[in-house]
Amino acid sequence: MPVNNKLCLQESVIFLLFHFTFPLYNLLNPADKFINKLLKASKVKIFFIIFISLILYSFSISIAQTWTLQTSPVTTDLNSICIVNQTTVYICGSSNKVLKTTNGGTNWIILNNGITSGQGLHTIFAANTNVAVTGSDNGTLWRTTDGGQNWNAIVPAPASPFINAVHFFNSTTGFAVGNPSGGTWKMWYTTNAGANWTSHPAPPPAGGSEAGWNNSYFALDTGNIMWGTNANRIWKGSLRGPFVSISLPGTLNSPGIWFSNANTGVIIANNGVSSLPVLRTTNGGTNWYATSFTPSGIGNSVRGTFNTGYLWIASDNKVYRSTDCGLSFSQQTISLSVSANCLAFEAQGLGWLVALTGKIYKYLDPWQGLNTTGEDIPLDYELEQNYPNPFNPVTIIKYSILKSSNVKITVYNILGHEVKTLVNTYKNTGRYSVVLDASDLASGIYFYEIKTGIFRDSKKMIMLK
C-alpha cells in the first residue's frame, strides 16, 4: 500500500514530542504534582496530541504546495511551457527565445540557433527529448531534432497569421492550430514528428473577427480536440474529421480549457476587462454551465493532471488550485508581481508557471508525490478505498497493477447495473489513480470493481449530494 509520508511525519513527530516533552516537563517541575497528574490523565494526553497534530498539519501545509521563483536567463516575456519529464522542460517566449532545462530547473540555457531574430514564440510542445516544435506570431513553425541546438522554419499551408497551439499525442502524431484567414480556421496535422504538415481536410469556418488564444486548447486523443475563441464558443473535432461549434453561456472569451477526465472539464472566461465565472462541463464539453467561482483579474491559463481531479488556474498574478475537478478552488501562495502566461504540470506534485519579464516558477508539493503514471513498481495488485468517501460528487480511486495487462474499472449501482466505465485499457505495471465524477448520478450506495487478467476486487462507496 502506498505510504502517506505526510501522515507518517506527523505521527512520528507527535510520538517524539509526547514521549520526550512529558519527561522533560516532569524533570523541570518536580514539585508541580497537580500538573503532572493532569498530564497523566488520558483526556489531557489526547487533547495534547490533537493540539500538536493541528500545529503540525498547519506547518506541513505551509511547507507544501510551494511556488518557487527560478533563476531565469532572460527578462523578456515567456509564453508557453512543455514538460518532457521531471527534469527536462522547454519554454518559449518573445524575442525568439527558447529555454531548456535538463536538471529540473536548476539551470536554464537559451537555445534559439536558426530562429529569426525578434520572432515572438507563443506555444511549444516536444514529441520527445530531441524533437520539439514551437509556433510563432507570424504563422511559422520552428522545429528542432537535436534537443534545441538548431531550429528549422516550416511554414504550413495554407498560411495563418498566428500559431495558437502545437500538440503531439506521441512521438510522431500531432497537430497545430492557427488563427483564421480567408474565412476559415487553420489546422494542420503531422504523422512524422513535425517534418511535414498536412492541412486539415475540413477546417471550421470563422465568423467575423473570430480568433483564438495561444495555448487555449485541450486534446484528449486524436478524436477529441478542442480550442477556445473570442466569440462565445469553442470548437470541437478530430485530427482529420469534422469540427462542431459549441456555444458558451454569456458573452465571453475562452483563453483556457482543461479536462480532468473524458467528461469533466473547465474553461476560464473573461470579457476582456475582468474574469467571468469559471465554466464547467460534465458531458465531454457538449454543455457548459457557470460555476460560483470567479478568479481575480483576468484568467489566462488552466492546466492540471489528467484523471486526478487536480487543476490550476493562473489569473494575472494569482494562482488557484482545485482538487475536485473544478468544483471548488483555493488560492495558493506565490510571490508573483507580473501576469502569468502559462501553466504546465507533470504530476499533481510538480508543475511550472511562466510569466511576463522572464519569470519562471516551479511548483512542488512533496506530499502529493511525483509518480502518477505507472512508473512506481507495486508489490502486489491492489484496489484502494476511494477518497473521499462519502463524496459529493467527485472522488479518487487508486489502484496498483503488478503485471502489465488489460484493466477495466466499472461502477455499479445498488441493483448491480453498470453506470460508468472508468478505465478500459492496457496498463503497464505501476500505481495509478482515476477520478470518478458522479455529477450525473443520484445519491446512494455504489460499488466499483477492477478486473485484470488474474486479479479482481470490488469496494463500496457512498455518494451524498
Q: Which domains does the chain have, with CATH numbers?
A: 5-63 (no CATH), 67-364 (2.130.10.10), 382-463 (2.60.40.1930)
Q: Which DSSP helix (H) or strand (E) runs through 429?
A: none
Collect all residues with Cβ–Cβ distance below 8 Å to 74 and sequence separation of at least 6. 93, 95, 97, 99, 110, 358
Considering only CA atoms, which of 117, 172, 110 is closest in space to residue 145?
172
End-to-end CA distance of the chain: 30
Residue 376 has a pLDDT of 57
Collect all residues with Cβ–Cβ distance below 8 Å to 83 and sequence separation of at least 6. 89, 344, 345, 346, 352
Q: Average the pLDDT over 188-195 and give the result.
A: 98
Q: pLDDT band for position 286 (50/70/90)?
A: very high
How does the average pLDDT of the chain come out, rounded?
86
Encode pLDDT of 200-239 as tens digits. 999 999 988 899 999 999 999 999 999 999 999 999 999 9
Full-model pTM: 0.74
How far, in Å, CA of 66 to CA of 77, rounded? 23
Sign of CA dihedral 12, 385, 458, 347: negative
Q: Which segments within 249-339 are labelled E, that is strand?
A: 253-259, 265-270, 275-281, 289-290, 299-304, 311-315, 318-322, 330-332
Q: pLDDT band for position 367 (50/70/90)?
A: low
For the cut 60, the answer to whether the pLDDT of residue 321 exceeds it is yes
- Is the distance from CB of 179 to CB of 213 less than 8 angstroms? no
Residue 53 has a pLDDT of 45
Q: pLDDT band for position 366 (50/70/90)?
A: low
Collect all residues with Cβ–Cβ distance below 8 Å to 426 and sequence separation of at least 6. 404, 405, 406, 407
Residue 26 has a pLDDT of 42
Considering only 35-39, 159-163, 360-364, 375-379, which range has the smallest mean pLDDT? 35-39
Encode pLDDT of 47-65 as tens digits. 554 455 444 444 444 445 6
Q: Average the pLDDT over 110-130 and give the result.
A: 96
How far, in Å, CA of 413 to CA of 393, rounded? 15
